[in-house]
Amino acid sequence: MRKIFNRFKRTDWRLRKLTYTEQLKDSYSVGSVVGGELLGQSVLITGASGGIGLAMARRFLVEGCKVILSGRTETKLQQASSYLRQKGFSNVEYVVIDQLNDTELWTKSQNVFEKYDINILINNAGILKKTDRDGRFRCIKDEDYLPGMDTNLKSSLVLSNSFAEYCKRERIVGHILNTSSVCGLFDSMGMTPYGISKAGVIELTKQVAFACKDIVTCNSIAPGSVATIMGDLHTGSNIESFSTSNHHVTMPEEIASLAALLCTKSMVLALNGQTIKACACEKF
């Protein structure tokens, strides 16, 4: 009787809670993932005061690089820099660059490239507004549209050109890594400024790789949902998720490790112009 009763029971699948703790961050930030190939490189990371940018900074410091953080708010950059120094890294500095200010972006970036002998530029700065998350279209105004497009796409274009100019002048081969998004690949956010700008970044990656063939190499990462403030998540949040294969929202440290791999010499040549999806099969 019990066997018959059990056969009609409905199974309720539930995920166990997974808290995004400092310990979890530390466990994904130790040991090299590139066999020491990035030792001595100099990296400029935009949008590095938090989220994926800060995780990338930590990963590249673990790999033995000199890291320059850039952002628009000095206090946040100071906090990021002291966080990294607390973790035992000293080879880190920061510069304040407002990517919404197009008049000084070119000059400031050239100064930074020359001062720190940058080999790797990571265009990570991005804005996701509430109107993007709500999936609005007809009510989007300039104040919702322009910051996203300017920061996500146009500033990446200016910085990529500036970096290529610098590499050509110095006769070095540099590498550019762009942070795009799966929103630029899937249709669900295609009509939002965020989705459009990220689709633009994907094409920018191909075009820079083609146009600046012997000067810079360029590839990009397209993450899905990541445990950052942009996704309304932070340290201490529950990051379980049914929509990914791993059953949790991607951690910034996972994206950062992939970024380090994509910046090694063998991978930049093999993946030049490509965008790598890193969303653990997340459905959109």
Partner 1 sequence: MPFTKVCHIDGIYDKNLYEENKQSYAGGSLEDSNVLIVSNDEAILPKMNAFLKREKCYFQSCNMKEMHSAESFSSCNNLIGPFDHVINIVKMDKCDALLTMQKCYNHNDILNSLYKLLQAETGYLVQNNRYATLTTAFQSDGSIEGDIISEAVVHLLNGLSKPLSNHRLVENGLIATVKITEDTIIRSTLFLASKYGQVMAGEAMKLK
Both tokens of 172, joined, read 């070095």
Closest to partner 1 by CB, 192 or 264: 264
Indicate the burial class of 192 (C-beta count within 10 angstroms; 0-12, 13-18, 19 or more). Answer: buried
18 vs 128 by CB, closer to partner 1:
18
Q: For residues 78 and 91, which CB has a smaller minimum distance to partner 1 in the complex?
A: 91
Token pair belonging to 56: 């990338």
In the complex, minimum distance from the CB of residue 13 to partner 1, in angstroms, rounded to a whole number: 5
C-beta separation of 272 from 217 below 8 A? yes
**Binding stretches for partner 1 (CB under 8 A):** 6, 8-16, 18, 23-24, 26-28, 30-36, 239-240, 244-248, 250, 254-255, 257-258, 261, 264, 266-267, 270-272, 274, 276-281
Amino acid at 211: A
Nearer to partner 1, 151 or 219 (CB): 219
Closest CA to 284 of 196, 186, 192: 186
Structure-token pair, residue 2: 């019990």
Between 43 and 239, name the residue whose CB sits nearer to partner 1. Answer: 239
Q: How far is the CB of 20 from partner 1 (least distance, A)?
A: 10
Q: Are 114 and 156 in contact (CB under 8 A)?
A: no
Per DSSP, the residues of 42-92 read: EEEEES-SSHHHHHHHHHHHHTT-EEEEEES-HHHHHHHHHHHHHTT--SE
Told to judge if 194 belongs to the known catalytic residues of this protein, a careful annotator would answer: yes
- Residue 276, classified by CB atoms within 10 Å of its CB into exposed (0-12), middle (13-18) or buried (19+), is middle
From the CB of 155, what's the least distance to partner 1, in Å? 26
From the candidates 20, 94, 166, 194, which is the catalytic residue? 194
In this structure, the number of other CB atoms found within 10 A of the CB of residue 9 comes to 7
43 phi and psi angles, rounded to 5 deg = -120, 130
Give the active site residues.
Answer: 194
